[in-house]
Amino acid sequence: AQSVTQPDIHITVSEGASLELRCNYSYGATPYLFWYVQSPGQGLQLLLKYFSGDTLVQGIKGFEAEFKRSQSSFNLRKPSVHWSDAAEYFCAVGAVAVTQKLVFGQGTRLTINP
Amino acid sequence: KAGVTQTPRYLIKTRGQQVTLSCSPISGHRSVSWYQQTPGQGLQFLFEYFSETQRNKGNFPGRFSGRQFSNSRSEMNVSTLELGDSALYLCASSLAGQGSTQYFGPGTRLLVL
Q: Which residues of A touch B43 (CB under 8 A)?
A: 90, 92, 102, 104, 107
Considering only CB atoms, which chain A residues are within 8 Å of B35? 102, 104
Strand, coil or helix: A100: coil
pLDDT at A98: 66
> How close, in Å, is residue B105 to chain A by CA atoms?
6
Contacts of B16 (CB under 8 A, 6+ apart): B80, B81
What band does A28 get if pLDDT is binned at 50, 70 and 90? confident
Selected for mutation to probe chain A from B32, B102, B108 (highest A CB count within 10 Å) is: B102
pLDDT digits (tens, 9 = 90+) for A2-17: 899 999 999 999 999 9
User: Is the separation of the CB atoms in A25 and A34 below 8 Å?
Assistant: no
Per-residue pLDDT, averaged over A19-42, amounts to 90
pLDDT in tens, chain B (113 residues): 789 999 999 999 999 999 999 999 999 999 999 999 999 999 999 999 999 999 889 999 999 999 999 999 999 999 999 999 999 999 999 987 666 788 999 999 999 99
CB contact under 8 A, B107 and A43: yes
- Residues of chain B neighbouring A92 (CB-CB closer than 8 A): 43
Comparing alpha-carbon positions, the chain A residue that sits nearest to B93 is A100
A-B contacts (CB, under 8 Å): 61
Q: Provide the b/e sequence for B63-75 (b: ≥16 CB within 10 Å).
A: ebbbebeeebbbb
Whether residue B42 contacts residue A106, with contact meaning beta carbons closer than 8 Å, is answered with yes
